[in-house]
Every structure is written in C-alpha cells, then in structure tokens.
Amino acid sequence: MVLEFGMESLVKKRGGMAVLTAALLLGGCATLPQKSALPARAAVESIASVNSFAAPDAAWPSDHWWEDFGDAQLSGLIAEGLVGATDLRVAEARFARAQALVGETRSRLLPSLNANAEAGATKQSYNYLFPREFAPQGWPDYGVATLRLD
C-alpha cells in the first residue's frame, strides 16, 4: 500500500466525496408512487380447486372392477395373476413358517445352557498283569458331571 501525501491525494479524495454527495442528493429527490388500494380477494367458494374432490357417492367397486375399463390386455394380466394367486390360508401358513424361521435364527443370539452327567463302575481282573494282592479290590466307581453356559 502506498501512502500518498500532498495536493494530488487531497484532490482525489474531494472528487470522490463530491460524487458521493451528488448521488445522495439526487436520490433524496426521488418520489415514490402513490399508494393504491389492494385488489379485493376472491371468495373461497369461487375457487375451482375447492370443489375438485367433490363427487357423487358411488357404489363400492365390484370384484371384477377391471372389466369396466374394457381393456383386453388388462383383463388378460389380471387373469394371469389370479391363476397363480394363493388363497388366504396358504399365505397365512407361509407367513407363519417364515416367522418360525426368524425365531429359530434369533434363538442363536440367546445364551444356552447344556448339562451332561455320566457314571460308571469297573472291576479289574485279578488275573491280569499284577499279582492278585496288588490289584484293586471291589468295584471302583467314577462319575463325571459337566455344565456349559454359552
């Protein structure tokens, strides 16, 4: 940035101030148009969109509503769709099966508890590798119990 001192900078500043002053004075002389009354609003009843949903009462559509259109292609598509359509009992059974599969899948996220027990008894032969005096006497028994929490 260059700082200017002297007569030339003073002339530039005064010239800018003169232009700004002239613009403000001329802007103050502008006149506004006369205020006129607002146009009257239309009545709600006169608007066509108010009555757009007005229709006479009609009967409930029949089971063969598509025949009212008289379109052979539409009738063919509906007939094709109805041939492969299932009744409500079959759809309900399929839905119940799907819910059961979802329940089975969700059950894997829950903890599980497993228990196992085993018991037994053995008797060693007195005529085996050891002399009779060194072999265990009687029926030694054993037991094993496990508990697993996943």
Closest CA to 113 of 148, 77, 139, 144: 148
pLDDT at 113 over 60: yes
Look up residue 146 and give its two tokens.
């496990």
pLDDT at 124 over 80: no
Q: What is the pLDDT of residues 55-74, one digit of tens each?
A: 777 777 788 888 988 999 99
Task: Say how far apart CA 3 and CA 11 lie, in whole Å.
Answer: 15
Look up residue 113 and give its two tokens.
């508890």
pLDDT at position 101, please? 95
pTM here is 0.29
Look up residue 40 and give its two tokens.
């009257």
pLDDT at 96 over 70: yes
Closest CA to 64 of 48, 50, 82, 47: 82
Local confidence band at 93 (pLDDT 50, 70, 90 cut-offs): very high
Mean pLDDT, all residues of the chain: 81
Task: Say how far apart CA 33 and CA 19 lie, in whole Å.
Answer: 27
pLDDT at 143 over 70: yes
Task: Say how far apart CA 21 and CA 9 lie, in whole Å.
Answer: 18
